[in-house]
Chains A and B, each alone.
Chain A
Amino acid sequence: MPKYLLLKHYRGGPENYTSVPPMDQWAPEDVEAHMAFLRHVSEMLEENGEYVGAQALTPERTWVRYGGPDAAPVTTDGPHPETSDLVAGWYMIDVDSYERALELAAYVSSGPGPGGEPMYEWIDVREIMTEAPSDD
């Protein structure tokens, strides 16, 4: 069965379908509803036997590269830290088909925002490469 990453982004990706303010400006009940939805997604994937893992990332990012011999690593926040792509987290799923991955990604995107309206956020779906087949 193919595995997919369903990536959520802090920023980047296609133009937003709806405009949603930062979560700390939502009404308390909307925040609770959204958190409940996130718990529900993980539980549903586990019950379906489709869950592999889920992680959230902090928004702090540092780009780093080898500095050369005898030099410290070189770090930077990036050329355009405000507009560059920034991953917020992911679900890793193990599903029957690409279509099923899209179906689940769309469901993740339907999570409730302010006023309980779906957020319509873009989900980045990436297939994971499998191990090379063994010799035997």
Chain B
Amino acid sequence: MLVDEGALRALVPRVLAGLVRRGEDFDAAEDALQEALLEALRVWPDNPPHNPHGWLATVATRRLVDARRSEIARYRREETTAYADPPPAAVEQGDDTLFLLFCCCHPDLAPASQVALTLRAVGGLTTREIADAFYVPEATMAQRISRAKRTVRGRRLDQPGDLAVVLRVLYLVYTTGHAGRVDLAAEAIRLTRQLNLATGEPEARGLLALMLLNHARLPARLDSEGRIVTLDRQDRSRWNSREIAEGVRVLQSALALQTDERPPGRYQIEAAIAALHDDAASAEETDWPQILSWYDDLVALTDDPVRQSPAAVLGRAVAVGHVLGPAAGLRETDRLSEVIGERHRWYAVRGHLHELAGDLDTAAAAYAEASRRATNLTEHDHLLRQAVRLRAAARTRPGDRP
């Protein structure tokens, strides 16, 4: 029998939370559970347990006892029986996930540490897998995780944490990596699903909807040679309609909870925008006025959107370009030049709007500048291709040249 790693890792939050609630040290419990997981992968193929959760809890506890015994052997030889038999978990699995996410997304941790610790302690990934996902040596990731655990150790873990931080960390996991051996996007979706079992917060649902509605388009995002395909050229039949349907359903359930005092937050709004793109049968049928109206809500969430959420203002500029015309869209990007005028995305959006206006030479120059500033190879190559495509088009339409 092959071990279903997904099912195995789904047990992690419950087992770990059980150990920590019983008074075990988070750091030591997490290490012990990692060892138990490796043991499970070794033993279960031949001897599948009747109660996988109980098996993991027992083995992890034994590891904890072993570790503690060797530590205190110098002083005493007893003190082992109290941990032999873990009491059954008295709380729901969803609460465990939330509890652990609050531990791992502690505000005292840097984002990179929050992400790494979440993937290990809640996601059940090995240090090696996390290191691979972020292209750093395993020793570096091991050090990052153990430092993070040391930071969290002294903190009280029974306080309700900050859900906004948890959502941000999960979204960071989602956006960080779609390549490599570990599919972090799928992992983020799995964790956000678990989070939604624990909380009815509309923004948690909004985040899950956003992930699903974007993830649905992933199969069409790259061509067979690994080149980026822009939204307007994607083969929409390759979009995952099941994920779109679920994303829309989750989003609707979140929006249904809104009140005048509690309007939709950023994740619900971004999910609504993604849903409108997903809903269009072709690029031409995209409901840009509706998208623009959601962007208006998105930028209204902060007092100074140009400085506080420039990405939203930039996205809105594209929508303005499609609704009110490219010149209006370009004027919107002008407002951002001092904030993100150095970034490749700013040039890329301007390239798009200049092309929309039929100004192919200026568009090509903007895309060329964007490619020079890109920090991702796939995006760099894509932006360079946009530039050469537009220069070639400009050459065959000499009348358009200034």
Contacts and interface: CB of A to CB of B under 8 A. Distances in A.
B368 A28 contact: no
A23 B392 contact: no
A24 B364 contact: yes
Contacts, number: 32
B228 to A, nearest CB: 13
A25 B390 CA distance: 10
B384 interface: yes
* Interface size class of chain B, counting residues whose CB lies under 8 Å from the partner chain: 10 to 19
Given A24-B387, A31-B388, A58 B375 contact: yes
Contacts of A26: 388
Contacts of B380: 56
Contacts of A79: none
B377 A28 contact: no
A27 B388 contact: yes
B385 interface: yes
B249 interface: no
Given A31-B384, A31-B385, A35-B381, A24 B391 contact: yes
Given A31-B385, A35-B381, A25 B391 contact: yes
Nearest to B370: A24
A24 B347 CA distance: 14
Given A31-B384, A56-B377, A58-B373, A24 B368 contact: yes
A60 B373 contact: yes
A30 B364 CA distance: 17
Nearest to A23: B384
Nearest to A59: B372
Interface in A8-52: 22-28, 31, 35
Contacts of B389: 28
Contacts of A22: 368
Chain B interface main SS type: helix
Nearest to B344: A58
* Interface size class of chain A, counting residues whose CB lies under 8 Å from the partner chain: 10 to 19
A28 B364 CA distance: 12
B288 interface: no
Interface in A41-93: 56, 58-60
Contacts of B384: 23-24, 31
A57 B90 CA distance: 53
Nearest to A56: B377
A110 to B, nearest CB: 21
B367 interface: yes
B371 interface: yes
Contacts of A25: 388, 391
Interface string B364-402: 100110011111010011001101110110000000000
A31 B368 CA distance: 13
Contacts of B385: 28, 31
A26 B377 CA distance: 19
Contacts of B364: 24
